[in-house]
Structure 1
Amino acid sequence: MNVQIFVRMLTPHDPLRYETPYPQVNREEQRERNGRNDRDLRQEPNSLWKKVAYVAFPLQSTRGEPRLPPGRVIRGVKFALELIYPKRHQEDVHAALWAWETFGGLGARTRRGFGAIRLVEIDGRRIPPPATVDDVRRDIEKKLKQYVGVDGKWPPGVPHLHPHMRLKVIGPSGPRAGSSGDDGRFRSAQTCYRNVEDAWTELVSKLRAFRKQQVNGRSAWPEADAIRNLLRAPGRRGRPQNEPKGEIIDKFPRAAFGLPIVFHFRGGKSDPREKNIELRGRLLGDGNSVDRLASPLILRPYACQNGAVGLALILENTGIFQWRGHRLALQAGRRTYAVDPFLTPKEAQKISPLQPLPLRTVDGKVDVLAAFFETL
């Protein structure tokens, strides 16, 4: 007999809380009144969503589809899940449910905290959440050892959990409060954030601060200048006179956070003329790129008794290091270029977001996700 799943909504008569992070605007009226272009008329998120706008951008209507309403999210959904399965599968079913409740969720963009769920009760028995950040950490450590085999074999390219995976639980008392293992995998505080929103927005703000860091109004990461250098007309390689001096590092290290990445330029003198520039998955032998890369990084809030904590982890057996020997495809207009996402330690020391951090390498290449973990 197979596993059977039944879902029963517990809020059919209660009004579900639909939210539109980006309010609908009358673009024609504003254009008449202000003479603004489409870019100026992009909707501003409301107060809560301003803090997580960095990961909520898919909910925004695009300039190419101005009449489409912004996306919506739903809060306060409660449901009962009933499962029928052979007793011999009980351990597997419990493991799958625990992993889903802890690291997964419902809907889109669960790896950035959307759709997070929590277990409330089992067969009428209330399941209280852990009391402190350290309780969360200990509970997750225990369940990883119980449900995930150390010597388990996984097919190539299949993301999975591991008893010794890179995972951090953070609270509001500071990045170095609480206890830490000798290997530095866990660093936590005793107290929880007051609510889920605080825990989530703290994770998003740390990700944005790391990925969007600037120096003198320009990106501190090398991708933008690498694109400018790559797409210049023949005979014009190198940096124009009006750009800041410095070595051009022709690498795309932020691919480690997931692909594709779309690049936008403001139309400056040194900016490329191509409007559609996108970093895609690995470049295949026929010149095409059919792969995308779901982010190996999961950031999400996790409930505790008096609020929530922030949970961050990196899945095993995924990421750009699984593509050793492959280059990535940069699509610019109708042309495709082969580019390299991997930084050497020497190159990483010239990139300001990485300079103050201890660097972990894999096959001599810098692990940018491990560097981000040092900022949590």
Structure 2
Amino acid sequence: MRQLNPALDPQTALADWSTATSANADPWTHYTCKLVTPLYGGGVRAAEVDTAMPIRAAGIRGQLRFWWRIANGPFASSAEMFQREVAIWGGIGNKNPVASKVAVRIDRITGQTHPEPAFIYQSNPNKPGELKTMPDAADWIDSYALFPARGELTKDKRAAEVPPHKLIRAGLGFRLGVRDADLTAAQRAEVTAALRWWASFGGVGARTRRGLGAVQVSNLPLVTAEEVAQRGGQLCVRAVEKTAELAWKMSVTRLRDFRQGIDLGRDPRSPGSESPAGRSRWPEPDIIRHQTRRHSHGHQPTHPVTTVYPRAAFGLPIVFHFKDENKGEPPQQLLVPDMGDRKGDRMASQLILRPYWDGKNWRPAALLLPGWEAALTVRAGFGDGTFKRAWPTAPAERQQLAAQIEPMQKRGDDPLTAFLHYFEER
């Protein structure tokens, strides 16, 4: 009788096959992604789309590293965060550089990759040869979220010195691959959490905190309001909109109206005035008039609040342009943060506006990042070396000031909380 070859034993063969399969298994986890709002920038040059590589793996990996800190904090100390972060994402360790254990790649890009202008300058019918000061926005963008993309006219307004920037429309598809096989199970769970927060609130390209470059990831559950609260943030959503684009535009519109809307952020237009709106109900313009001792006829500073910059809490810098500079108003001013010994004049907004997928529908969403309270006490000023806190810390003083700033009245005792209450109003 023939003897069974030990090498062909079924159990042995199965074990060998399992070992070989595990060794040769694809180490990449893939996620199907779709751009649901326009893509702005993201290329090698600032504010430019790279048509050859519109979605950059390096940019997403940087975003994931940021969201890892949010998703897995708060940490016991900055030293603990640093050690855990370097162990996963790489960096300069205690002694030598440490390589990242997370790799990211992009493939299978589908859809329109040709960028289009977000704005178009039109001829001024009242001044032949000149262009209108404000360009017309494309109907697929939100102009308030994209003011940096407007470009600039020459002084004689006869041409665009800086052409309007170009964006890629929503609808672009791509596959995101993530490899983290060298991590422990606990570390891989942390990376997955970062992916979920990125998919829920991040994006690709520039100005993601104002909803540009938002993505929908088909096989990742989104972060809930309860999870956000556990990390120390706040998530508010509004009623369902028909599309992601409408949800995005509504979220940005709520901020625009809170800061500049007629009968909310600004007074109505005065009778006989050519301006589309009246004076701001926020204190910063009158503070500038006080500091510069300049104002046009009928625009004497009257706001009762003179010691704080509440809108600094939404991010810096802020440009204050007075349209009647040639009639006595102050020249353009730039409100910047006090960075101390650090270089730079920017403070990223702690408020994120974007469309939010609840599993069935798109909703406008506003997120205050964990640790958002620090934005209230940033020191800000106009570059003359004089800085003051954006908002006080004493509860009684906060309540008193909020009662004197009309957009905040009965909504909250700090600017960001007041905005969230307004955001949810119907």
The alpha carbon displacement at 1:10 in A equals 2.0
- Is contact 1:220–1:352 with CA below 8 Å preserved after alignment? yes
The alpha carbon displacement at 1:77 in A equals 2.0
Q: Cα 1:5–1:79, aligned 2, differ >3 Å: closer, same or farther?
A: farther
Other-structure match for 2:245: 197
Q: Cα 1:258–1:162, aligned 2, differ >3 Å: closer, same or farther?
A: farther
- Is contact 1:282–1:289 with CA below 8 Å preserved after alignment? no
Please show how residues 137-216 of structure 1 align to structure 2 within 5 Å. 140-141=224-225, 162-171=230-239, 192-212=240-260, 213-216=265-268
Quick one: which of 112, 117, 134 aligns to 1:42?
A: 134
The alpha carbon displacement at 1:194 in A equals 0.7
Other-structure match for 2:152: 62
The alpha carbon displacement at 1:291 in A equals 4.5
Q: Cα 1:83–1:241, aligned 2, differ >3 Å: closer, same or farther?
A: closer
- Is contact 2:376–2:390 with CA below 8 Å preserved after alignment? no
Structure with more helix by fraction: 2
Q: Cα 1:70–1:321, aligned 2, differ >3 Å: closer, same or farther?
A: closer
Other-structure match for 1:102: 200
Q: Does 1:80 align with 2:175?
A: yes
Q: Cα 1:297–1:15, aligned 2, differ >3 Å: closer, same or farther?
A: closer
Q: Cα 1:319–1:71, aligned 2, differ >3 Å: closer, same or farther?
A: farther
- Is contact 1:281–1:292 with CA below 8 Å preserved after alignment? yes
Cα-to-partner distance string for 1:304-326 (whole Å, 9 max, x where unaligned): 45541122111122465475xx6
Other-structure match for 2:380: 328
Q: Partner amino acid for 1:204?
A: V
Other-structure match for 2:117: 20
The separation in 1 between residues aligned to 2:162 and 2:203, in whole angstroms, is 26
Other-structure match for 1:11: 109
Structure 2: which 5+ residue stretches go unaligned? 1-98, 269-277
Other-structure match for 2:279: 218
Other-structure match for 2:315: 258
The separation in 2 between residues aligned to 1:32 and 1:317, in whole angstroms, is 50
The alpha carbon displacement at 1:339 in A equals 3.9
- Is contact 1:283–1:338 with CA below 8 Å preserved after alignment? no
The alpha carbon displacement at 1:62 in A equals 1.9
Q: Tell me the TM-score normalized by structure 2.
A: 0.62
The alpha carbon displacement at 1:245 in A equals 7.6
Q: Cα 1:115–1:228, aligned 2, differ >3 Å: closer, same or farther?
A: same
Q: Cα 1:278–1:240, aligned 2, differ >3 Å: closer, same or farther?
A: closer
* Structure having the higher Rg: 2
- Is contact 1:24–1:69 with CA below 8 Å preserved after alignment? no
Cα-to-partner distance string for 1:197-236 (whole Å, 9 max, x where unaligned): 1111111111111111112411010110110111017xxx
- Is contact 2:225–2:234 with CA below 8 Å preserved after alignment? no
The separation in 2 between residues aligned to 1:321 and 1:15, in whole angstroms, is 38
Q: Does 1:118 align with 2:165?
A: no
Count of matched residue pairs? 297
The alpha carbon displacement at 1:41 in A equals 3.5
Other-structure match for 1:242: 298
Amino-acid identity (%): 29
Q: Partner amino acid for 2:172?
A: V
Q: Partner amino acid for 1:80?
A: R
Other-structure match for 1:281: 337
The alpha carbon displacement at 1:79 in A equals 1.6
